[in-house]
Amino acid sequence: MRIWSLLRGDIRFQYKYGFYLLYLVFSILYISLIFSLPQAWREKAAILMIFTDPAAMGLYFMGAIVLFEKSERVLGSIAVSPVKTYEYMLSKLLSIGVISVIVGFSIGFFSHAVNMTARFLVGIFLCSCLFSAVGLMVAAKSISLNGFIISTIPAELLINIPAIAWLFGWRPGWLLLHPGVCLMELCENGKYAFTAFIILALWTLFFALIANRSVKGMFREIGGIKL
């Protein structure tokens, strides 16, 4: 299947350009930092690090990948190939999602600060895909890295602030509709974990559909004209 070929290509690209090495370095630093904290702080610190690094960093990595492909004219070749836009999008989301799960598992397992469950790992994967989909949407319309970073600031604030507020005790019931809050609930294996899983899955699907539409628009405009 084409999607598996695309996925292997994306993984090789990420390995070649040091994504895995960068994540390894950050994982070691985060685990070391968690062990330096008082025992009472470690769980929240670990959850916050998992949320902001393996999950949220997918947004910026996605932007870097797509902008690189634009600058190297890679997208022109893909646009005229039999590859479907949803295959391109899924390959990007899955490749970064795999890294996010590995890093999130490593931080949680080696720090002994998080209760490792299947929901926890699936939550990291879904949240990573959500962030990556947002990154793909923004990158599809960006022409420079600076423009991309500026455009992602509102998305980062909207996703991060409610999630951090939930983690540190502000927990009105309606806030569980927020995707970042859903990941926090899954990481804590709270009493609303199943509901959070369903809501996060729906948000991820929603953003993936929008990202697919953005990719279609990006491919149509390759070459400076609309086909």
CA distances from 18 to 52, 70, 108, 112, 212 (A): 19, 19, 23, 27, 26
Burial, 146: exposed, middle or buried (Cβ in 10 Å; 0-12, 13-18, 19+)? exposed
Residue 102, phi then psi, degrees to nearest 5? -60, -45
Residue 44's pLDDT band, with cuts at 50, 70 and 90, is confident
Residue 224 phi/psi, 5-degree rounding, is: 85, 5
Residue 54: per-residue pLDDT: 61
How does residue 224 score in pLDDT terms, banded at 50, 70 and 90?
A: very low
Q: What is the mean pLDDT of residues 19-32?
A: 85
Please compute the mean of the pLDDT values over residues 140-159 and round it to a whole number.
83
Residue with more model confidence, 139 or 52: 139
Most confident region among 56-60, 116-120, 151-155, 206-210 by mean pLDDT: 206-210
Q: How far apart are CA 115 and CA 108, in angstroms?
A: 8
pLDDT of residue 1: 67
* pLDDT computed for residue 201 by the predictor: 92
Whole-model pTM?
Answer: 0.86
Higher pLDDT, 174 or 75: 174
Average pLDDT of the residues in 184-197: 83
Average pLDDT, the chain: 83
How much is the pLDDT for 104? Answer: 85
CA 35/CA 154 separation, integer angstroms: 32
And the tokens for 206?
């929603």
- Return the higher-pLDDT residue of 94 and 191: 94
How far, CA to CA in Å, does 43 sit from each of 25, 35, 54, 191, 222?
21, 11, 16, 17, 46
Which has the minimum average pLDDT: 109-118, 126-135, 179-188? Answer: 109-118
Both tokens of 158, joined, read: 């909207």
Least confident range of 34-38, 83-87, 133-137, 220-224: 220-224
Q: What is the mean pLDDT of residues 155-182?
A: 86
pLDDT at 113 over 90: no
Closest by Cα among 130, 68, 70 to 97: 130
User: Would you say residue 57 has pLDDT above 80?
Assistant: no
pLDDT at 55: 64
What's the average model confidence in pLDDT over 173-193?
85
> Has residue 16 got a pLDDT over 50?
yes
> Per-residue b/e over 106-121, b at no fewer than 16 CB within 10 Å?
bbbebbebbeeeebbb
